[in-house]
Structure 1
Amino acid sequence: MSNRKPYVREMKRTWWSNHPFYRFYMLREATVLPLILFTLFLTVGLASLVKGPEAWGTWLSFMANPIVVAINIVALAGSLLHAHTFFGMMPQVMPLRLKGKLIDKKVIVLSQWAAVAFISLIVLIIV
């Protein structure tokens, strides 16, 4: 057996901050935190809806708090960022063919955004 020590490269906690790709990746992954809060707020809202009008009014006043509104705006921005990155990589992960020809990447991405806009419009009309 050899008495040599194996090489262990030093890994700092902020290794990701030196490269723009990893900084963007960490930002994208950090957007899950406001989304978790948004989901918890909605879950509490459903529970307050079941409890009655007083609890519902309390929840509505809580949702009107500027901090909660800011968290919801950040959650919306995070959701749009996730959608943008997901829609952008979808044609690379799953290239679609129509009659043997590859469909242009821009067409796939724009059709996904059109579907999001259409579904959002339907939800706005219903609500």
Structure 2
Amino acid sequence: MSNRKPYVREMTRTWWKDSSFYRFYMLREATVLPLIFFTICLTFGLGCLVKGPEAWQGWLNFMANPIVIILNILALAGSLFHAQTFFSMMPQVVPIRIKGKKLDKKIIVLAQWAVVAVITAIVLALV
């Protein structure tokens, strides 16, 4: 047995603030917070829809609150930011080859946004 003490590096609670890479990562991961609020609102909305017209109207009144609208706009912005960072990573994680040549990264990212636009248009047409 050795009498040597192992080196233990101190780690503060704000270790991530020292690097721009980690600050960006934490910002990206924090986008889940407004999305949690949005998900809870939708869940309660479905519950109110089942309960009847009075409960549904109460939920609609709640959703018309300016604070709720601001939080939903933040959720949308967080969702788009998260999607943009995910889409920009995709060509590095899963490089697509066609006839032995790598497909350009911009084409992959634009194709993903095109799929999002098509799905959005379909959903809006159904509503």
State TM-score, norm by structure 1.
0.95
Q: Give the stretch that moved more between structures: 89-98 or 4-13.
A: 4-13
Runs of 4+ aligned residues of structure 1 deviating over 6 Å after TM superposition are: none
Q: Distance in 1 between matches of 2:8 and 2:119?
A: 52
How far did 1:9 drift? 1.1
Matched, 1:30 2:30: yes
Q: Distance in 2 between matches of 1:7 and 1:98?
A: 50
**What's the C-alpha RMSD, in Å, of the aligned pairs?**
1.0
Q: Distance in 2 between matches of 1:92 and 1:31?
A: 22
Q: Distance in 2 between matches of 1:4 and 1:125?
A: 70
Q: Distance in 1 between matches of 2:2 and 2:43?
A: 60
Q: Distance in 2 between matches of 1:118 and 1:51?
A: 33
| Identity across the alignment (%) | 73
How far did 1:124 drift? 1.4
Amino acid at match of 2:17: S
Mark the runs of 5 or more structure 1 residues left unpaired by the alignment.
none
How far did 1:118 drift? 1.4
Amino acid at match of 1:69: I
Mark the runs of 5 or more structure 2 residues left unpaired by the alignment.
none
Give the number of equivalent residue pairs. Answer: 127
What residue in structure 1 maps to residue 63 of structure 2? Answer: 63
Amino acid at match of 2:66: P
State TM-score, norm by structure 2.
0.95
Q: Distance in 2 between matches of 1:87 and 1:46?
A: 30
Matched, 1:123 2:123: yes
How far did 1:114 drift? 1.0
Amino acid at match of 2:46: L
